[in-house]
Amino acid sequence: MVYSIKYKIDNLKHSVNFNNKIKNNKIKNNKWIITKEQNDIFIDLKKILNEWIKIADKYNIEWWLCSGSLLGALRHNGFIPWDNDIDICVPNKYYNLLKKLVKTENKVITLDKVAIGFRAFVENNNFPYMDIWMVDINRYNCVSFCAPYHNEKKTYYFTYGFPNDYFHLNELYPLKTCMFENIQVYIPFNGLNYVLKKYGNDCLTNGIIYPHTQIHSIMRIVPLEYLFEKIIIKKLISFEKTKKINKKQKLSLIIIKLIGMVTESEKNYIYYIKLLMKFLFHFIYYL
């Protein structure tokens, strides 16, 4: 049996078919109810994306959709109705250029430097935002997250938390374009392989509500970037130098892995959040 979900974002109608029935109190008669507040968030995200495209075109910056935004492009032709951010990848060779553009280039959006690379906001609001994940070719000859940055150097430590977030070169290039909420965007040449690897072989036909939007809310009040850059990554860097792992460094690796589990888990996210907080407090206690 096929279940259809219809919704409207900024007056653009969407209709997606799933093989499973999604249970959520926002679904009424096969329609996902988008509130005014949610619609305003999507409008802001579109504004961020459009302004980013202007900047990227001006400076010839290479970029493409990744994570849930890429899944949304392939399955919804735009936003997944239960998502609330945009994820893109930018090669590390543009890192220094983006640093120069931070808070100086555009009056419509604010570009800020964070642990993953950069983040774009509408004006000076910290939500909603577009995550700009810096990527580079790793030792396995794949393109993967090379953040967080420590002393302006790549660490690749996010790969511990997001082991399926990588692209083989032949599935990434040449980039191609598609429409995302009537905005032309770049996506990997074979983005399907990526989303199947990251979200499962049935991700285009089965609708699963990932609770990572809750994490976005938590990140507004918990300084995760500070923990990554100033505490956790610092401990891991010392491990790189000594090649011996101690208790603090082991906890650092576990925390990064837990963050990945929280953001990519389909359920029991409260359990993972509690576990993550427990490890964070335990970690800080031993500083």
pLDDT digits (tens, 9 = 90+) for 61-70: 999 999 999 9
pLDDT of 190 over the 70 cut: yes
Mean pLDDT for the chain overall = 81
What is the C-alpha separation between 11 and 229, in angstroms, rounded?
A: 41
- Beta-bridge partner residues of 176: 187
pLDDT of 285 over the 50 cut: no
pLDDT at 246: 61
Number of residues assigned to the chain: 287
For the record, the structure tokens of 113 come out as 């430097």
pLDDT level of residue 257 (50, 70, 90 thresholds) = low
Q: What angle do CA 261, 195, 179 make, to 5 degrees?
A: 125
Residue with more model confidence, 266 or 90: 90
- Beta-bridge partner residues of 91: 135
- Asked whether the bond before 148 is cis by omega within 30 degrees of 0, the reply is yes
pLDDT of 28 over the 50 cut: yes
pLDDT at 223: 52
pLDDT of 286 over the 60 cut: no
Q: Is 221 helix (H, G, I), strand (E, B) or coil?
A: coil
pLDDT of 191 over the 90 cut: yes
Distances (CA, A) of 285 to 53, 130, 251, 260, 281: 44, 33, 12, 22, 6
String of DSSP letters for 93-140: GGHHHHHHHTTTS-SSEEEEEETTEEEEEETT--SSEEEEEEEEE-TT
For the record, the structure tokens of 79 come out as 């936003």
Residue with more model confidence, 287 or 81: 81
- Beta-bridge partner residues of 14: 7
Nearest alpha carbon to residue 191 among 50, 82, 69, 25: 69
Tell me phi and psi for residue 130, to 5 degrees: -115, 120
pLDDT of 272 over the 60 cut: no
- Beta-bridge partner residues of 122: 109
One-letter amino acid at 45 equals: L
Distances (CA, A) of 76 to 71, 140, 193, 237: 8, 32, 17, 40
What is the C-alpha separation between 177 and 269, in angstroms, rounded?
A: 34
Nearest alpha carbon to residue 98 among 83, 85, 84, 109: 109
pLDDT of 172 over the 70 cut: yes
Q: Among 105-114, 151-160, 209-218, name the one with the lowest average pLDDT.
A: 209-218
pLDDT level of residue 147 (50, 70, 90 thresholds) = confident
Domain ranges of the chain: 3-208, 210-287
Q: Which residue has the tokens 């109705």?
A: 81
Q: pLDDT tens-digit profile of 193-240?
A: 999 999 889 999 988 776 566 556 555 555 555 555 555 555 555 555
Please give the CATH topology (third level) of the domain spanning 3-208. Answer: Beta Polymerase; domain 2 (3.30.460)
Q: Which run of H or E residues covers position 176? A: strand 176-180
